[in-house]
Chains A and B, each alone.
Chain A
Amino acid sequence: MSDTSTQPKKSSAAPIEEIESAVIRFAGDSGDGIQLTGSQFTTATAFAGNDLATFPDYPAEIRAPIGTVAGVSGFQIQFSSHEVLTPGDAPDVLVAMNPAALKANGKDVKPGGVLIVNKDAFTPANLQKAGYEKDPLEDGSLSAWRVIPVELTRLTRGAVEDLGLTPAQSERCKNFFALGVMYWLYDRPLEATSRWIEGKFKKNPVFVEANTKALHAGHVYAESAELFGHHYRVRKAPITPGVYRNITGNEAAALGFVAASSASGLTLWYGSYPITPASDVLHELAKCKSFGVKTFQAEDEIAAIGSSIGASFAGMLAVTGTSGPGVALKTEAIGLAVMTELPLVILNVQRGGPSTGMPTKTEQSDLLQAVYGRNGDCPVPVLAAATPGDCFAMAYEACRLAVKYMTPVMLLTDGYLANGSEPWLVPDAAKLAKFGKPALLPLSEYKPYTRDPQTLARPWATPGAKGYEHRLGGLEKQDVTGTVSYDGENHDRMVRLRAEKVEKMAQDIPPTEVLGARKGKVLLVGWGGTYGSITAAVQNLQKRGAPVSAVHLRHLNPLPPDLGEILKGFDHVLVPELNMGQLIKVLRAKYLVPAAGFNKIKGQSFKVFEIEAAVDALLKGGKN
């Protein structure tokens, strides 16, 4: 193979095979540009008209020791001519930039799948760092897969050798060479990436040339070296017509907040403290100053929410974003927002817990914290987004409900949604539903805690409103007047009023959609980022004729008013969750249903087949 780059055997027209879908994964050192490579492949795939879903998997360490398994970064994409709901269970193709990447990811690849490896990186030193005793390319241990070794480093250097780059600079282009290989394999267009390279390196024309050359060289190499025998085409998916972009959950949440600000006429405040995996929301919003958005990187999580409560008191649309450990720190202040009945959105981009846990891995283990985790009887509405794009809709909805009901609202997303991406039908900004601060009662009727009979919301009289001077605080409030009260009867009334107000929000929840029949053997009830896996599994089961339906909850507190009736229509309720069983506790407590849990706590979302298997087991075991 050593001479193939310089002497292609022929300009082969390798046959093209039509396939429905494919799952590929790029993996390498966290400094290898893997996320960039993945996002470029995603763009090219979107341009090719496929439906897709992606998921990055990166280490917590910014630059873990080079060449070690701990330092491996990955990016997976599933694309198809049909609807895509998840980034895929197992890759068909893995691109491994070094032995550690192979070690960390090889076992995930489907048997018979393809391993494209950077042969140049399989040096004794790198093998040792990755923990290989023998070279896996030579010891037969990879016989379950088709291994395609490519001298990525040498070939890339060769492609850019006339540009006068240092060896290190040349080598840095190898991810584009690998991308070129994959573009050929899946018949993707090169133009979008070429344009991106031109924009990215416009200050350094030599890098534009080098990366472009590497990309094209990889493409030509894949074709002329006849690495694969044939290549693949995935036809366009039947997608709702319109203008699309690729979007991650964190980007979508940030845009949802800006859109809510625009639709309500309330200026956005975002108080936050950097935390994985929520920081990107802060980064996105910090770029939105032209919309009047005020971002405040606070000294800690408590200051982040404290400033947001202050901004809300003064009349802004206030949001504070964090992850689970940050919510733990904000807990007392959330109670303050409940007591003062001020609108506030708390975004929790969940990650593996407890404590610092697994910052870069996904989990759904903060539901009970969101619903119950405060001192006192302290009800907070809880929403959860189902897909990356849904983070936009739910961020918007959280803002709308917070203002309408004058309450803090918790919005749950997770690391899987936050960093995963999907094509997103760009909404028409002019058609966003308007909402806003209700008109203030005339002074003669105003008291700080008079309530709207429909929503039980109290008035939002902000400093500057003459005659409306009042004092708020965390001490119990006298009903109506809002002055401090330690009266037992009043406290009983106020605790119940606050709970009733949150329950009233159920009137804003749309009817629950059931995937499949409304009566049957098994109902899967999911929430949050597992939507894709559960839906794909249920669709597969239904194709096989299984009497299975699914409901996916986006409102966790209050629950949809029609949920109880739906649950009654099934013999079994199965609740898949990426935790020890949290929604299931809420469902059992509220509906007294003998629900069963299916739980995974491995820092990854469900594989579709895992859910199918769990349902199959229930159907077999559940027959009376």
Chain B
Amino acid sequence: MDRDHDELQTLPGSGPMLQAKDFKSDQMVRWCPGCGDFAILSAVQKVMPTLGIPKEKIVFVSGIGCSSRFPYYMNTFGFHSIHGRALTVATGVKCANPDLQVWVVTGDGDGLSIGGNHLLHALRRNVDVKVLLFNNRIYGLTKGQYSPTSELGKKTKSSPMGTIDVPLNPIAVALASEAGFVARAVDTDLAFLGEILTRAAKHKGSAFIEILQNCVVFNDGAWDPVASKDVRDDRMVRVAHGKPLIFGKNKEKGVRLNGLEPEVVTFDPAAPPRDLLMHDEKAPSATLATFLSRMGDPVAQGIFRAVERPTLHELMDGQIEQAKAAAPDLQKLLKGPETWTVAA
């Protein structure tokens, strides 16, 4: 996506032309200088005007943590809730008014630890909200304790001898929770992040995006082993629908199946082998997506799965419409199944 491309977009119909700056609130952004969150905020503010949704119909909901300050910086409706509970609030907002576009901003601690249960259930219910999980593998706002995505053995303030908890894989969790749209992007790659955000916004139903994000203060270089400029082409593969898994600086590497395990093969970019693994984001089963989520070398990014099914609010409203076939009669309801009359 061209950096300035979105500035030229107009809303469909006769609405005024909105720009990224229209989505900036008057509040000073209070993240640490150099925080990955700035880039994500910028990407989101750039995507918003391209969606054709008036800003009063957009709601950002968050929990607690550094990332959860996000709604204060968006000039839309916003709700900074309590730790881990953003998805519960977002579920109520979306079901109450399906006309709204609802985004949830959460982190690895907020979304996978204290709020883990809500993530599972919002995704399985297909609540039509877009979940941005900023994964920096650390608790930042409480000043540096390990998180549920911290690598095993990581030394932090609360684990001076190294963590003894195996980390969660957010993409695998989302897929196991029956999420319809599951993607991963990196905070430093704004153009690609913008593409993913746009696709998520247009997906009908739950969309889950894990954003690999750096914490300059408490976990600097969190994703450098796979996402820093010098190694990312060799350590990460972008999955694209209908395309083989090819990566490397010169597109000279690919992934193929060896039994039930991935195997990296190197080849002449002009003549890639035919047995490379092909991505299919529309596969009805989440098997391939789960396989990709489990790859460690290279690490997959992009859209793992994009399959639509009826959303929670559609099903809820559908039952209500069906029930309304019998005209509501409050007096009849108050009377209940049986009454008797006491004469004067």
User: Contact at A313–B339, with CB atoms within 8 Å?
Assistant: no
User: Contact at B340–A46, with CB atoms within 8 Å?
Assistant: yes
List A215-264 residues whose CB lies under 8 Å from chain B: 239-247, 251, 255, 258-259, 262
In-complex Cβ contact of A307 among B57, B89, B330, B334 (8 A): B89
Interface-facing stretch out of B96-104, B160-168, B239-247: B96-104
Given A244-B340, A468-B56, A314 and B96 contact (CB-CB distance below 8 Å): yes
User: Contact at B342–A313, with CB atoms within 8 Å?
Assistant: no
In-complex Cβ contact of B342 among A49, A259, A288, A316 (8 A): A49
Interface-facing stretch out of B36-44, B72-80, B140-148: B72-80
Cα distance, A258 to B96, chains bound together (Å): 16
In-complex Cβ contact of A244 among B99, B100, B341 (8 A): B341
User: Contact at B76–A469, with CB atoms within 8 Å?
Assistant: yes
User: Contact at B75–A469, with CB atoms within 8 Å?
Assistant: yes
Interface string of A457-484 (1 = CB under 8 A from B): 0000011111111111111000000011
Cα distance, A246 to B339, chains bound together (Å): 8
User: Contact at A464–B57, with CB atoms within 8 Å?
Assistant: yes
Rounded to whole Å, the gap between the CB of A119 and the closest CB of chain B is 34
Cα distance, A249 to B204, chains bound together (Å): 41
User: Contact at A336–B88, with CB atoms within 8 Å?
Assistant: no
Interface-facing stretch out of A59-67, A82-90, A289-297: A289-297
* Cβ-based interface call for B336 (8 A): yes
In-complex Cβ contact of B82 among A43, A239, A333 (8 A): A333
User: Contact at A466–B95, with CB atoms within 8 Å?
Assistant: no
A-side contacts of B25, CB under 8 Å: 471
B-side contacts of A247, CB under 8 Å: 336
User: Contact at B56–A313, with CB atoms within 8 Å?
Assistant: no
User: Contact at B326–A463, with CB atoms within 8 Å?
Assistant: no
User: Contact at B88–A306, with CB atoms within 8 Å?
Assistant: yes
User: Contact at A463–B334, with CB atoms within 8 Å?
Assistant: no
User: Contact at B117–A299, with CB atoms within 8 Å?
Assistant: yes
B-side contacts of A243, CB under 8 Å: 335, 339-341
Rounded to whole Å, the gap between the CB of B26 and the closest CB of chain A is 8
User: Contact at A306–B92, with CB atoms within 8 Å?
Assistant: yes
* Cβ-based interface call for A536 (8 A): no
Cα distance, A303 to B122, chains bound together (Å): 10
* Cβ-based interface call for A47 (8 A): yes
Interface-facing stretch out of B222-230, B277-285, B300-308, B317-325: B317-325
Interface string of B283-323 (1 = CB under 8 A from A): 00000000000000000000000000000000010011011
Rounded to whole Å, the gap between the CB of A79 and the closest CB of chain B is 14
User: Contact at B333–A288, with CB atoms within 8 Å?
Assistant: yes
Given A316-B96, A426-B334, A464-B100, A309 and B81 contact (CB-CB distance below 8 Å): yes
Cα distance, A212 to B322, chains bound together (Å): 36
Q: Which residue of A lies closest to B27 (CB)?
A: A483
A-side contacts of B57, CB under 8 Å: 463-464
Rounded to whole Å, the gap between the CB of A318 and the closest CB of chain B is 7
Cα distance, A303 to B89, chains bound together (Å): 8
Cα distance, A542 to B82, chains bound together (Å): 53
* Cβ-based interface call for A271 (8 A): yes
Interface string of A273-297 (1 = CB under 8 A from B): 0000000000000001111111010
Rounded to whole Å, the gap between the CB of B60 and the closest CB of chain A is 8
User: Contact at B88–A292, with CB atoms within 8 Å?
Assistant: no
In-complex Cβ contact of A289 among B54, B56, B91, B319 (8 A): B319
A-side contacts of B92, CB under 8 Å: 269, 271, 296, 306-314, 316, 318
User: Contact at A472–B336, with CB atoms within 8 Å?
Assistant: no
Rounded to whole Å, the gap between the CB of B317 and the closest CB of chain A is 8
B-side contacts of A46, CB under 8 Å: 340
* Cβ-based interface call for A302 (8 A): yes
* Cβ-based interface call for A332 (8 A): yes
List B1-46 residues whose CB lies under 8 Å from chain A: 25, 27
User: Contact at A474–B72, with CB atoms within 8 Å?
Assistant: no
Interface residues on A, range: 35 or more
Cα distance, A244 to B117, chains bound together (Å): 45
Q: Which residue of A lies closest to B101 (CB)?
A: A463
User: Contact at B93–A313, with CB atoms within 8 Å?
Assistant: yes
User: Contact at B56–A314, with CB atoms within 8 Å?
Assistant: no
Rounded to whole Å, the gap between the CB of B43 and the closest CB of chain A is 20
User: Contact at B91–A426, with CB atoms within 8 Å?
Assistant: no
Rounded to whole Å, the gap between the CB of A300 and the closest CB of chain B is 6
User: Contact at A310–B342, with CB atoms within 8 Å?
Assistant: no
* Cβ-based interface call for A592 (8 A): no
B-side contacts of A439, CB under 8 Å: none
B-side contacts of A311, CB under 8 Å: 92-93, 95-96
Cα distance, A431 to B84, chains bound together (Å): 43
Rounded to whole Å, the gap between the CB of A443 and the closest CB of chain B is 11
Rounded to whole Å, the gap between the CB of B222 and the closest CB of chain A is 26
Given A269-B96, A463-B93, A469-B75, A306 and B117 contact (CB-CB distance below 8 Å): no
List B263-285 residues whose CB lies under 8 Å from chain A: none
* Cβ-based interface call for A168 (8 A): no
* Cβ-based interface call for B259 (8 A): no
A-side contacts of B323, CB under 8 Å: 289-290
Q: Which residue of B lies closest to A43 (CB)?
A: B338
* Cβ-based interface call for A440 (8 A): no
* Cβ-based interface call for B251 (8 A): no
User: Contact at B72–A303, with CB atoms within 8 Å?
Assistant: no
User: Contact at A474–B95, with CB atoms within 8 Å?
Assistant: no
User: Contact at B93–A473, with CB atoms within 8 Å?
Assistant: no
Q: Which residue of B lies closest to A242 (CB)?
A: B342
Rounded to whole Å, the gap between the CB of A376 and the closest CB of chain B is 13
* Cβ-based interface call for A429 (8 A): yes
List B177-226 residues whose CB lies under 8 Å from chain A: none
Cα distance, A292 to B333, chains bound together (Å): 13
B-side contacts of A258, CB under 8 Å: 330, 333
A-side contacts of B117, CB under 8 Å: 299-300, 303
Most buried by A among B85, B88, B330, B338: B88
Cα distance, A293 to B74, chains bound together (Å): 32
List A424-453 residues whose CB lies under 8 Å from chain B: 426-430
* Cβ-based interface call for A192 (8 A): yes
Rounded to whole Å, the gap between the CB of A273 and the closest CB of chain B is 11
Cα distance, A303 to B312, chains bound together (Å): 15
* Cβ-based interface call for A515 (8 A): no
User: Contact at B339–A426, with CB atoms within 8 Å?
Assistant: yes
User: Contact at B342–A306, with CB atoms within 8 Å?
Assistant: no
B-side contacts of A315, CB under 8 Å: 96-97
In-complex Cβ contact of B89 among A294, A299, A309 (8 A): A309
* Cβ-based interface call for A298 (8 A): yes
B-side contacts of A308, CB under 8 Å: 92
Rounded to whole Å, the gap between the CB of B323 and the closest CB of chain A is 4
Interface string of A318-341 (1 = CB under 8 A from B): 100000000000001101100010
Q: Which residue of A lies closest to B124 (CB)?
A: A299
User: Contact at A259–B334, with CB atoms within 8 Å?
Assistant: yes
* Cβ-based interface call for B260 (8 A): no
Cα distance, A473 to B64, chains bound together (Å): 10
Q: Which residue of B lies closest to A199 (CB)?
A: B337
User: Contact at A473–B336, with CB atoms within 8 Å?
Assistant: no
User: Contact at A255–B334, with CB atoms within 8 Å?
Assistant: yes
User: Contact at B330–A303, with CB atoms within 8 Å?
Assistant: no
User: Contact at A466–B90, with CB atoms within 8 Å?
Assistant: no
Cα distance, A294 to B342, chains bound together (Å): 35
In-complex Cβ contact of B85 among A49, A291, A292, A333 (8 A): A333
Q: What are the 4 A-B residue pairs with the smallest beta carbon separation, nearest first?
A: A310-B92, A306-B88, A473-B80, A314-B96
Contacts A311-B95, A429-B334, A473-B79 known; list 6 others, CB within 8 Å: A43-B338, A240-B342, A296-B95, A307-B92, A333-B82, A462-B97
Question: What are 12 A-B contacts with C-beta separation under 8 Å?
Answer: A43-B338, A245-B334, A245-B336, A289-B319, A289-B322, A291-B330, A302-B85, A303-B87, A307-B91, A463-B56, A464-B57, A470-B77
Q: Residues of A at under 8 Å CB distance from B?
A: 43, 46-47, 49, 192, 239-247, 251, 255, 258-259, 262, 267, 269, 271, 288-294, 296, 298-300, 302-316, 318, 332-333, 335-336, 340, 426-430, 462-475, 483-484
Q: Residues of B at under 8 Å CB distance from A?
A: 25, 27, 54-59, 61, 64, 71-72, 74-82, 85, 87-97, 99-100, 117-118, 120-121, 316, 319-320, 322-328, 330-331, 333-336, 338-344
